[in-house]
């Protein structure tokens, strides 16, 4: 009696390491990398892996097949699936307190929830052919995965309102001019450039990177005096860390530091 090998089940989210960087790939190109429930859980698990592993310093989020993400999988939603993860928001990312830096590598469209995923990242690298849009108003919705919350904090009010009220798309060049994108690269080069940028970030002290994320997140929502008080606590903790001592030694000895995250 013979047996035949069964095909491996489809995995909507793939991860791989390169040094201290975890590359997280949305792998549903047949659905333009739209987010269904399984994909959202996979993204949440990948981000939890990033935060839990001390050898990982930075994450890179991208999409397979030349598409970043078309946002919510409307067919899955019509079946009653939710693309949100409790406590973590849309795609398991948009409302999550991810401790480590996250870089978006955008090729092709980042529409709706796809744009919101990019907005949830700390840095964005876009290919020349990338396009960004929040078209939810055309479907009777609002950009509830962070678009209406984050976009007005990133660009001037009237520009944010134009994109939110019209749903029109902007290309990578316009996104760069608006301050929504850090770098624009040739098509097909977004992941490589984002991974290089992530490696540059990962070369810095992990405790300091985490402190930067916490302070930037805090400072926009509290009075300035409270932000400085919180900053003093962060700086005090960093001054007492082994990594600060190592950074000072490495500077004096003219060598690269060996960070331990302690």
Write out pLDDT tens, residues 35-62: 999 999 999 999 999 999 999 999 999 9
In terms of residue numbers, what domain contains 242? 206-253
Asked if residue 210 and residue 196 are part of one domain, the reply reads: no
236 and 107 fall within a common domain = no
112 located within any domain: yes
Given a cut of 80, is residue 233 above it in pLDDT? yes
Query: Does some domain include residue 212?
Result: yes
pLDDT band with cut points at 50, 70 and 90 for residue 220: confident
> pTM (2 decimals)?
0.94
Of 10, 107, 116, 253, which residue is the catalytic one? 116
Last residue of a domain, one of 202, 217, 241: 202
- Give the alpha-carbon dihedral of 14, 173, 149, 200, to 10 degrees: 50
Asked whether residue 6 is domain-assigned, the answer is no
> Average pLDDT of the chain?
95
Give the 3-state secondary structure of the chain: CCCCCCCCCCCCEEEEEECCEEEEEECCHHHCCCECHHHHHHHHHHHHHHHHCCCCCEEEEEECCCCCECCECHHHHHCCCCCEECCCEECCCCCCCCCCCEEEEECCEEECHHHHHHHHCCEEEEECCCEEECCHHHHCCCCCCCHHHHHHHHCCHHHHHHHHHHCCCEEHHHHHHHCCCCEEECCCCHHHHHHHHHHHHHCCCHHHHHHHHHHHHHHCCCCHHHHHHHHHHHHHHHHCCHHHHHHHHHHHHCCCCCCCCC
Q: Decide if 2 is inside a domain.
A: no
Tell whether 68 and 142 lie within a shared domain: yes
Regarding whether 215 and 168 lie in a shared domain, the answer is no
Same domain, 21 and 106: yes
Q: pLDDT tens across 161-201, in order? A: 999 999 999 999 999 999 999 999 999 999 999 999 999 99
CATH number (domain holding residue 122): 3.90.226.10
Q: How confident is the model at residue 221, as a pLDDT?
A: 84
Instruction: Identify whether residues 158 and 213 lie together within a single domain.
Output: no
Residue 89 placed within a domain: yes
70 within some domain: yes
Residues 68 and 196 in one domain: yes
For residues 136 and 146, give the distance between their C-alpha atoms in angstroms, rounded to a whole number. Answer: 12
Given 38, 48, 136, 256, the catalytic residue: 136
The verdict on whether 162 is a catalytic residue reads: no
The answer for 145, left when phi > 0, alpha when psi is -120 to 50, beta otherwise, is alpha
Q: What is the pLDDT of residue 4?
A: 46
Per-residue model confidence (pLDDT) at position 9: 56
Q: Which of 76-85 are b and which e, b meaning 16 or more Cβ less than 10 Å from the residue's Cβ? A: beeeebebbb
In a domain, 260, yes or no: no
- 32 and 92 assigned to the same domain: yes
- Shared domain for 210 and 198, answered yes or no, is no
Judge if 212 and 195 occupy the same domain.
no
Structure-derived torsion over alpha carbons of residues 67, 147, 43, 188, reported in degrees to the nearest 10: 20
Q: How far apart are alpha carbons 116 and 127 in whole angstroms?
A: 17
Answer yes or no: do 213 and 141 share one domain.
no
Predicted local confidence at residue 6, as pLDDT: 46
In a domain, residue 262? The reply is no
The pLDDT score that the predictor gives to residue 253 is 97
Render pLDDT for 116-167 as a digit per residue (tens, 0 to 9).
999 999 999 999 999 999 999 999 999 999 999 999 999 999 999 999 999 9
Residue 136 bears catalytic tag: yes
- Count of domains forming the chain: 2
Which pLDDT score, from 0 to 100, does residue 10 have?
74
**Confidence band for 255, pLDDT divided at 50, 70 and 90:** very high
Which of 185, 202, 219 is at the close of a domain? Answer: 202
Looking at the structure, do residues 132 and 244 belong to the same domain, yes or no? Answer: no
């Amino acid at each position: 009696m013979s047996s035949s090998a069964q095909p491996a089940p489809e995995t909507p989210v793939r991860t791989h390491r390169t040094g201290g960087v975890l590359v997280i790939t949305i792998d549903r190109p047949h659905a333009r990398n739209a987010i269904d429930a399984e994909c959202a859980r996979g993204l949440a698990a990948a981000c939890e892996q990033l935060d839990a592993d001390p050898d990982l310093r930075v994450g890179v989020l991208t999409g397979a097949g030349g598409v970043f993400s078309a946002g919510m999988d409307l067919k899955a939603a019509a079946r009653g699936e939710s693309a949100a993860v409790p406590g973590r928001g849309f795609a398991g990312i948009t409302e999550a307190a991810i401790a480590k830096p996250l870089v978006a590598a955008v090729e092709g469209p980042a529409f709706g929830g796809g744009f919101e995923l990019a907005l949830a990242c700390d840095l964005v690298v876009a290919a020349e052919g990338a396009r960004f849009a929040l078209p939810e108003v055309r479907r009777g919705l609002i950009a509830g995965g962070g678009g209406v919350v984050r976009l007005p904090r990133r660009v001037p009010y009237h520009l944010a309102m134009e994109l939110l009220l019209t749903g029109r798309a902007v290309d990578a060049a316009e996104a760069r001019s608006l301050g929504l994108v850090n770098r624009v690269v040739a098509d097909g080069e977004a992941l490589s450039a984002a991974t290089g940028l992530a490696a540059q970030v990962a070369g810095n002290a992990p405790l300091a990177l985490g402190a930067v994320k916490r302070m930037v997140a805090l400072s926009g929502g509290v009075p300035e005096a409270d932000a400085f008080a919180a900053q003093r606590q962060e700086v005090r903790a960093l001054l007492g860390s082994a990594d600060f001592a190592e950074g000072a030694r490495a500077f004096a000895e003219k060598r690269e530091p060996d960070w331990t995250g302690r």
